[in-house]
Amino acid sequence: MKVALYLRVSTARQAEKDLSIPDQRNQLERWCKDRDWTVVAEYVEPGASATDDRRPQFQRMMDDATRPDKPFDAVLVHSFSRFFRDSFQFEMHRRTLEKHGVTLVSITQAVSEDPSGQMFRQLCAMFDEYQSRETAKHVLRAMKENARLGFWNGSPAPYGYKAVTVEVRADAVKKKLEINPAEADVVREIFDLCRAGRGIRLIADHLNRKGLTYRRKDRRWTSGLVHQVLTREAYAGTHYFNRVEAKRKRGKEKSEWVAFATPVIIDPEVFHAVQKLLEARRPTRTPPRVVTGPTLLTGLARCETCGGGMTLRTGKGGRYRYYTCNNRVNEGPTSCKGRSIPMEMLDTLVIDNLEERILAPERLEALLKTLLDRARNRTTENAAKAKDLRKKLRGTESKIERLYGALADGMVSDTDMFRRSMTQVEEERDETLRMIAALEKHREVPRHLLTKRNIERFATTARARLRDESARLRKGYMRQLVSRIEVGDRQIRVCGPESALANGVLDSGSDPAAGVPSFVQGWWAHKDSNLGPAD
Q: For the segment 32-71, what is each residue's pLDDT rounded down to a tens digit?
A: 999 999 999 999 988 777 677 778 899 999 999 999 999 9
Reference 463, options 347, 355, 345, 344; nearest CA is 355
* 22 close to 5: Cβ distance less than 8 angstroms: no
Q: Are residues 341 and 475 in the same domain?
A: yes
What is the reported pLDDT for 318?
62
Provide φ and ψ at 265, rounded to 5°.
-105, -40
* 207 close to 185: Cβ distance less than 8 angstroms: no
What is the reported pLDDT for 38?
92
Reference 432, options 462, 399, 402; nearest CA is 399
147 vs 150: CA distance, rounded Å: 5
What is the reported pLDDT for 502?
61
Provide φ and ψ at 315, rounded to 5°.
-140, 160
Q: How many H helices and E strands in the chain?
A: 18, 17
What is the reported pLDDT for 40?
92
Q: 160 or 327: whose pLDDT is higher? A: 160
Query: Is residue 440 very low, low, confident or very high in pLDDT (cuts 50, 70, 90)?
Result: low
What pLDDT, in 10s, does the model give residues 73-104? Answer: 999 998 888 888 888 888 888 889 989 999 99
Q: What size, in residues, is the chain?
A: 535
Q: Are residues 421 and 435 in the same domain?
A: yes
Please, what is the end-to-end C-alpha distance for the chain in angstroms? 96
- Which residue range forms the structural domain that includes residue 391? 381-444
Give domain status of residue 49, yes or no.
Answer: yes
Buried b (16+ CB within 10 A) or exposed e, 58-80: beebbebbeeeeeebbbbbbbeb
User: E-strand spans in 50-195?
Assistant: 74-77, 103-106, 161-169, 172-179
What pLDDT, in 10s, does the model give residues 365-399? Answer: 776 666 666 666 666 777 788 888 888 888 888 88
Q: Are residues 425 and 479 in the same domain?
A: no
- The angle formed by the CA atoms of residues 245, 246 and 249, to the nearest 5 degrees, is 75
The residues pairing with 494 across neighbouring beta strands, listed in sequence order, are 485
Give domain status of residue 153, yes or no.
Answer: no
Q: Are residues 395 and 523 in the same domain?
A: no
Q: Are residues 268 and 294 in the same domain?
A: no
Residue type, 102: V
152 vs 147: CA distance, rounded Å: 6
Give domain status of residue 369, yes or no.
Answer: no
What pLDDT, in 10s, does the model give residues 109-141? Answer: 888 778 887 788 888 888 878 877 787 778 788
Q: Are residues 59 and 72 in the same domain?
A: yes
Of all residues in the chain, what percent carry a pLDDT higher than 70?
Answer: 78
Reference 514, options 168, 275, 217; nearest CA is 275
Q: Are residues 433 and 479 in the same domain?
A: no
Average pLDDT over residues 240-253: 77
What is the reported pLDDT for 41?
92
What is the reported pLDDT for 503?
61
- With 0-12 / 13-18 / 19 or more C-beta atoms within 10 angstroms meaning exposed / middle / buried, residue 357 is middle
Q: What is the dihedral of CA 133, 134, 138, 143, to 10 degrees?
A: 0
What pLDDT, in 10s, does the model give residues 13-33? Answer: 544 445 578 888 899 999 999
What is the reported pLDDT for 178?
92
- Res 188 pLDDT > 90: yes
What is the reported pLDDT for 110?
81
CA 230 to chain centre: 14
488 vs 493: CA distance, rounded Å: 8
Contacts of 52 (CB under 8 A, 6+ apart): 86, 89, 247
DSSP result, 305-354: TT--BEEEEEETTTTEEEEEEHHHHHH-TTT----EEEHHHHHHHHHHHI
Among 247, 267, 286, residue at a domain's last position: 286
Q: Are residues 470 and 355 in the same domain?
A: yes
Q: Are residues 98 and 25 in the same domain?
A: yes
Q: 436 or 152: whose pLDDT is higher? A: 152
Provide φ and ψ at 313, rounded to 5°.
-130, 150
User: Which SS3 state, helix, strand or coil, does residue 11 take?
Assistant: coil
* 490 close to 465: Cβ distance less than 8 angstroms: no
* 234 close to 177: Cβ distance less than 8 angstroms: yes
- Res 531 pLDDT > 70: no
477 vs 42: CA distance, rounded Å: 65
Q: Are residues 483 and 510 in the same domain?
A: yes
421 vs 415: CA distance, rounded Å: 10
Across the chain, mean pLDDT equals: 78
Provide the angle, in degrees to the nearest 10, between the axes of the packed helices 498-506 and 452-466.
110
Contacts of 445 (CB under 8 A, 6+ apart): 371, 372, 375, 499, 502, 506
C-alpha dist (Å) from residue 294 to 23, 66, 272, 348, 445: 71, 62, 26, 16, 35
Query: Is residue 72 very low, low, confident or very high in pLDDT (cuts 50, 70, 90)?
Result: very high
Domains held by the chain: number: 4
Pairing of strands 301-303, 244-245: unpaired
Q: How many Cα neighbours within 13 Å face the side chain of 408?
A: 15
The residues pairing with 41 across neighbouring beta strands, listed in sequence order, are 4
What is the reported pLDDT for 186?
94
* 508 close to 461: Cβ distance less than 8 angstroms: yes
Contacts of 277 (CB under 8 A, 6+ apart): 194, 195, 476, 514, 515
What is the reported pLDDT for 71?
92
* 86 close to 129: Cβ distance less than 8 angstroms: yes
Give domain status of residue 371, yes or no.
Answer: no
248 vs 51: CA distance, rounded Å: 12
130 vs 85: CA distance, rounded Å: 8
Q: What's the maximum distance between 2 C-alpha atoms anywhere in the chain? A: 101
What CATH number did the domain enclosing 186 receive? 3.90.1750.20
Q: 491 or 181: whose pLDDT is higher? A: 181
What pLDDT, in 10s, does the model give residues 471-522? Answer: 666 776 777 777 788 888 888 888 876 666 666 655 554 443 344 333 333 4
Give domain status of residue 513, yes or no.
Answer: yes
Give domain status of residue 250, yes or no.
Answer: yes
CA 516 to chain centre: 22
Of all residues in the chain, what percent carry a pLDDT higher than 90?
Answer: 15
Q: Are residues 477 and 456 in the same domain?
A: yes
CA 130 to chain centre: 29
191 vs 232: CA distance, rounded Å: 11
What CATH number did the domain enclosing 55 receive? 3.40.50.1390
Q: Are residues 182 and 212 in the same domain?
A: yes
Among 109, 143, 177, residue at a domain's last position: 143
373 vs 185: CA distance, rounded Å: 46
Query: Is residue 527 very low, low, confident or very high in pLDDT (cuts 50, 70, 90)?
Result: very low
